[in-house]
Amino acid sequence: MASPDQQTQQPGRSAAADAGLDAALIAAAAALPESCVEVVDSIDSTNKELMRRPAGPPRSGGAPAVHVLLAVQQVAGRGRRGRVFVSDPLDSLTFSVAIDHCRGAHTPALVGLPLALGVAVAKTASAWAPGIGLKWPNDLLRKGLKCAGMLVETRLSGEHERIVIGLGVNLRLPDALASAIDQPACGLFEAGSAMPPREELAGRLARALIDAAERFLAEGFGDTALQWAPFDVLAGREVTILEDGRPKLSGRADGLDPTGALRLRTSDGVVAVAVGDVSARLSDLTGARGP
């Protein structure tokens, strides 16, 4: 990564603007009112903060309430299964989206929501970078290396439910940050390559998450398995399912079932895996690309 004084300055932007994030620009890119977007310099975790806050009122027409919270720096960011999310303020995006809605008799179970959100992020990221793929359940990869992760949490109070979607994206991956990550990783963009303003990236990703979540609440899992398939880096590959770091099951990955579980072809037949981590040889994933 170039140092801040080496980075190319975008026309009309000050060094201070480049060091932080402009909530108004993010709101414009996300097609949201400015009141729905908040930027803080530092926080423990954007997911934790939104889970602490009370639910917001519905939007006009009864649509779910939405709030986007971005942090220039997270000091206690979390990933799936309590893993620490490591990020760099200038070379990453860390934000969460809260969606408040009322659960009804026909509201779908949310078990497949992370998969639908992963597809939305992959489609959006593909406009900026080649070789985008998805590793079940919702890790975003570029050329087989992880560049983004997601954490979905919910809070239910009576019929009122808050869905909080946390997204962490490595935009570029400086050497110092790469050495602090416990798995092979990369940035969405190559070091030194051109990159859209971070506000545009954040706004478009937030918009994609909101649209995907609202579609899921209205339609359920639907055709998510078909949408997932072009990005699926595990399809046809030998993988091992881990629980608490220990191998539990091995087989050949065969896409998703209608609920979002990973289909695994084993010597005993096809098994649907709903929980666990997937281990696959890095050489099998490197070079895997989306459409």
Looking at residue 246, its pLDDT comes to: 87
Looking at residue 57, its pLDDT comes to: 78
Domain residue spans of the chain: 15-228, 234-285
User: Is 15-228's fold the same as 234-285's?
Assistant: no
Looking at residue 108, its pLDDT comes to: 95
Residues in the chain, total: 291
Report the C-alpha gap between 237 and 126 in whole angstroms: 22
Q: Name residues of the chain where pLDDT drops below 50.
A: 1-19, 81-82, 287
Q: What are the φ/ψ torsions at residue 64 (nearest 5 degrees)?
A: -55, 145
Is 266 within 8 Å of 277 (Cβ atoms)? no
Tokens of 118: 């992963």
Q: What are the φ/ψ torsions at residue 38 (nearest 5 degrees)?
A: -135, 135
Q: How far is CA 141 from CA 77, 115, 193, 205, in A?
A: 19, 14, 18, 15
| CB burial of residue 76 (10 Å; 0-12, 13-18, 19+) | exposed
Report the C-alpha gap between 190 and 136 in whole angstroms: 24
End-to-end CA distance of the chain: 28
Rg of the chain, C-alpha, whole Å: 19
pTM metric for this prediction: 0.85
Is 222 within 8 Å of 214 (Cβ atoms)? no
CATH number, domain 234-285, options 3.30.450.90, 3.40.50.300, 2.30.30.100, 3.90.180.10: 2.30.30.100
DSSP conformation letters of the chain? ---TTTSPPPTT--HHHHHS--HHHHHHHHT--GGGEEEEEEES-HHHHHHHSPPPPPPGGGPPEEEEEEEEEESS-B-GGGPBPP--TTTEEEEEEEEEEE--TTPPPGGGHHHHHHHHHHHHHHTT-SSEEEETTTEEEETTEEEEEEEEEEEEETTEEEEEEEEEEESS--HHHHTT-SS-B--SS-TTS----HHHHHHHHHHHHHHHHHHHHHH-STTHHHHHGGGBSSTT-EEEEEETTEEEEEEEEEEE-TTSPEEEEETTEEEEE-S-EEE--HHHHTT----
Q: What are the φ/ψ torsions at residue 220 (nearest 5 degrees)?
A: 80, -160
Q: What are the φ/ψ torsions at residue 13 (nearest 5 degrees)?
A: -110, 140
- Homologous superfamily, domain 15-228: Bira Bifunctional Protein; Domain 2 (3.30.930.10)
Report the C-alpha gap between 215 and 219 in whole angstroms: 6
